[in-house]
Amino acid sequence: MAKHFDLSTILQDEKPTIKIGDKTYTVNDEKSNVLILNSKLEKEDNSIESIDVAIAQLLGEEAVEELNSMSISLSAYKEIFYTLIACVQDEEIEEVKKRFQK
């Protein structure tokens, strides 16, 4: 007998969000977008510019401009990056940090 599985509760359209100050940003965690991001990051050298690339791809160029206008510290900027990766990977932020500190 054939098995039948209902994935409707897993396959939701709800997008993750992150809140920075008073602004809430929606993270584009669609597979095609994450694949584009991976391709772009492979070309980067793990520099600070990589964080801008990730933010632009996952939140949009407008978010990059808004964040740059906030004069955010480098450590806070890295936290944003870790949080975005946690959103698209459905992981805890601490797990993401461990992976990037290796």
| pLDDT single digits (tens) 64-80 | 999 989 988 999 999 99
Tell me whether residue 4 is in a domain.
no
Tell me whether residue 36 is in a domain.
yes
Element of type H or E holding 26? strand 23-26
For residue 11, the model assigns a pLDDT of 77
What is the SS3 assignment for 28? coil
CB 79 within 8 A of CB 49: no
For residue 6, the model assigns a pLDDT of 87
Question: Per-residue pLDDT tens for 15-52?
Answer: 999 999 899 999 999 999 999 999 988 887 767 888 89
The domain tally of the chain equals 1
For residue 100, the model assigns a pLDDT of 79
For residue 102, the model assigns a pLDDT of 63
Tell me whether residue 7 is in a domain.
no
What is the SS3 assignment for 9? coil
Domain of 65, in residue numbers? 17-100
For residue 43, the model assigns a pLDDT of 82
Please give the model's pTM, rounded to 2 decimal places.
0.84
| Residues 65, 60: Cα–Cα separation, whole Å | 9
Tell me whether residue 1 is in a domain.
no
Burial category of 72 from C-beta neighbours within 10 Å (exposed 0-12, middle 13-18, buried 19 and up) = middle
| Residues 42, 30: Cα–Cα separation, whole Å | 18
